[in-house]
Amino acid sequence: MTEPLFREDAYLTQVEAVLVTLDPRGLVLDRTIFYPQGGGQPGDRGELLFDDGSRVEIVDTLYGPDRANIVHVTAEGTREPTPGAKLIARIDWTLRYRRMRAHTALHLLTAVLPFPVTGGSVGESEGRLDFDSGEASLDKAEIAERLNGLIGRNAPVRSRWISDDELAANPGLVKTMSVKPPTGAGRVRLVEVEGIDLQPCGGTHVALTGEIGQAVVTQIEKKGRINRRVRIALSQNAA
């Protein structure tokens, strides 16, 4: 079982850990700050620096089959270290922070466009969501203006846990139809952007919406009779 430290603090950039087991796809640690691919957010990249001086590059991060273990995917041809070895795990922070800003911006986009979400993806300083927006006409400039208004509020972003039963009693919390929150573990993580958005999410977010920086709506694409794909991009300079 890998302890997921990124859940309680998304700003950790490196941590000491121990290699527990080797997986066919990579390395399993006792604890990690590497985010595993899920909920539309890609897995982290980075490096593991072992006590013996060796360095292993991590090209992706994934959940193991039971989601208890987190697998740090190594590049092909990597020499396998010995379980029990101590190391420092360090993520590619530039990449992760861009994803945190884009991911948080998508939460705000669901507040600007309060329609059911059918899909989405987080990139580096950009992202997209698919909405069942019906016959509503969507305007790029208007959406961007409202989105930047929410970013400018510099609202705090917090997470807390609720029980599966509480979530079942409040189905309105689930905006994303295609990605149901993982229930069955007894509890679900709720992410709140104060006064703006509240929904279950396991991803990594910035602490204040002002960190997102200026956003633009780059494209609105028709994906079906009532479905629209909205793409946003962020300026490279975070606040």
Report the Cα–Cα distance between both ends of the chain, in Å, rounded.
36
Binding of Zn ion by 201 (CB under 5 A):
yes
Residue 77 burial (CB count, 10 A): 5
Q: How many residues bind Zn ion (CB under 5 A)?
A: 2
CB of 211 to Zn ion, least distance (A): 14
Binding of Zn ion by 200 (CB under 5 A):
no
CB of 178 to Zn ion, least distance (A): 14
The residue to which tokens 């190391």 are assigned: 87
Binder among 120, 200, 203, 213 for Zn ion (CB under 5 A): 203
Residue 5 burial (CB count, 10 A): 16
Binding of Zn ion by 120 (CB under 5 A):
no
Of the candidate spans 26-34, 174-182, 198-206, 222-230, the one that interacts with Zn ion by CB under 5 A turns out to be 198-206
Instruction: Give the nearer residue to Zn ion in terms of CB position, either 89 or 201.
Output: 201
CB of 5 to Zn ion, least distance (A): 17
Greatest CA separation for the chain: 61
Q: Which two tokens stand for residue 171?
A: 């189905």
| Length of the chain as a residue count | 239
CB of 92 to Zn ion, least distance (A): 20
Taken in order 186, 70, 204, 232, is the CA torsion positive or negative? Answer: negative
> Could you give the residue ranges of the DSSP H alpha helices within the chain?
93-112, 140-152, 164-169
Q: Which two tokens stand for residue 153?
A: 């509020």
Of the candidate spans 6-14, 44-52, 141-149, 200-208, the one that interacts with Zn ion by CB under 5 A turns out to be 200-208
CB of 28 to Zn ion, least distance (A): 25
Binding site for Zn ion (CB under 5 A): 201, 203
